[in-house]
A and B are shown apart, each in its own frame.
Chain A
Amino acid sequence: MFDLHFLPLNVDNLIHARPEACFPPSAKCPVSEYSTIGDHEGETEMARQSYGTSTCSYDTSLLQATPVSMEPPPVSAAKMLCEGGHFMKGMVMGGLFCLFLSLLGSFRLSTESKTDDSNHHHHHVKAPSKDELTRLSDVHMQEFGNQVQVSCIIMVQPKILVYWATAVDTWSKHCDKAVFYTSESSKALEAVDLNENDDWARLRKALKHAYENAGDLRWFFVAQATTFAIIENLKYLVLAKDPNEPFYLGNVMKSGELEYVVYDSGIVLSYEALKRLVHVLKDEDKCPERGRALWQLSEDKQLAVCLKYTGVFAENGEDAHGKGLFNSKSVDSLIADSMKANPRNVVEGCCADMAVTFNGMSPNQMQVMMFGVYRLRPYGHDFHDSIVFNPPDGSDND
Chain B
Amino acid sequence: MKALGSRFSFCAGFVVGTFTLYVFLRQVCFERTLSTQQASSFDQQLEEDKTIWKKDRSALFNLKHPHHTGEDSGMADELYKKVRILCWVMTGPNNLEKKARHVKSTWSRHCNVVVFMSSVDDPDFPTVGLGTKEGRDQLYWKTIRAFHYAYEHHSNDADWFLKADDDTYVIVDNLRWVLSNHTPEEPIYFGRRFKPYTKQGYMSGGAGYVLSKEALRRFVEGFKSKLCTHTTSVEDLAMGQCMEKVGVLAGDSRDTLLRETFHPFVPEQHLTAKFPKSFWYWSYCYYPISEGPNCCSDVSVSFHYIDASHMYLLEYYTYHLRAFGYRYRYQPPAPLGYNIEQSSSHDAAEGKKELTSHEKGQGEGDDPSRTDKKQDIDPPPAAGKDPPAVPSGK
Contact = CB atoms under 8 A, between A and B. Distances in A.
B293 A233 contact: no
A89 B6 CA distance: 10
Contact of A91 (B13, B171, B176, B299): B13
A235 B13 CA distance: 60
Interface of A: 2-3, 6, 8-9, 22-23, 25-27, 29, 31-32, 34, 37, 56, 85-99, 102, 116, 118, 130, 145, 174, 230, 232-233, 235-236, 321-323, 331-332, 335-336, 338-339, 341-351, 353-355, 364-365, 367-369, 371-391, 396-398
Contact of B320 (A347, A396, A398): A347
Contacts of A351: 316, 320-321
Contacts of A331: 313, 316
B50 to A, nearest CB: 14
A349 B315 CA distance: 13
A374 B296 CA distance: 13
Interface in B142-182: 171, 173-174, 176-177
Nearest to A387: B325
A349 B262 CA distance: 29
Contacts of A388: 325, 327, 394
Interface stretch (B19-27, B122-130, B276-284): B19-27
B70 interface: yes
Contacts of B314: 372
Nearest to B315: A347
Interface string B283-302: 00000000011101011100
B37 interface: yes
Contact of B25 (A98, A230, A232, A385): A98
5 contacts: A96-B17, A347-B319, A389-B326, A390-B327, A391-B326
Q: Interface on chain B toward A: helix, strand, loop, or mixed SS?
A: helix
A332 B309 CA distance: 7
Contact of A102 (B25, B38, B316): B25
B39 A379 contact: no
B316 A349 contact: no
Given A29-B14, A37-B3, A94-B16, 14 more contacts: A3-B2, A25-B19, A29-B12, A335-B316, A339-B309, A341-B38, A341-B39, A348-B37, A348-B39, A373-B321, A378-B319, A383-B71, A389-B327, A398-B329
B272 interface: yes
Given A232-B324, A332-B313, A382-B75, A368 B271 contact: yes
Given A93-B17, A371-B271, A232 B71 contact: no
A98 B21 contact: yes
A367 to B, nearest CB: 5
A137 to B, nearest CB: 14
B232 interface: no
B39 A321 contact: no
A348 B320 CA distance: 9
Given A32-B7, A371-B293, A377-B318, A339 B268 contact: no
A218 B44 CA distance: 47
A29 B18 contact: no
Name, among B4, B40, B318, B321, the residue most crowded by chain A CB atoms within 10 Å (CB to CB): B321
Contacts of B36: 118, 321-322
Contacts of B10: 8-9, 31, 86-87, 89-90
B316 A91 contact: no
Contacts of A385: 324-325
B328 A31 contact: no
A31 B174 contact: no
Interface string B29-65: 0000001111110100100000000000000000000
Name, among A31, A345, A381, the residue most crowded by chain B CB atoms within 10 Å (CB to CB): A381
A345 B299 contact: no
B169 to A, nearest CB: 11
A86 B315 contact: no
A336 B313 CA distance: 9
Given A381-B71, A381-B76, A90 B11 contact: yes
Given A98-B22, A116-B35, A345 B45 contact: yes
A345 B392 CA distance: 33
A379 B1 CA distance: 81
Contacts of A86: 6-7, 9-10, 13
Contact of B20 (A8, A95, A116, A321): A95
A343 B39 CA distance: 8
A353 B173 contact: no
Given A98-B21, A375-B330, A382-B71, A389 B325 contact: yes
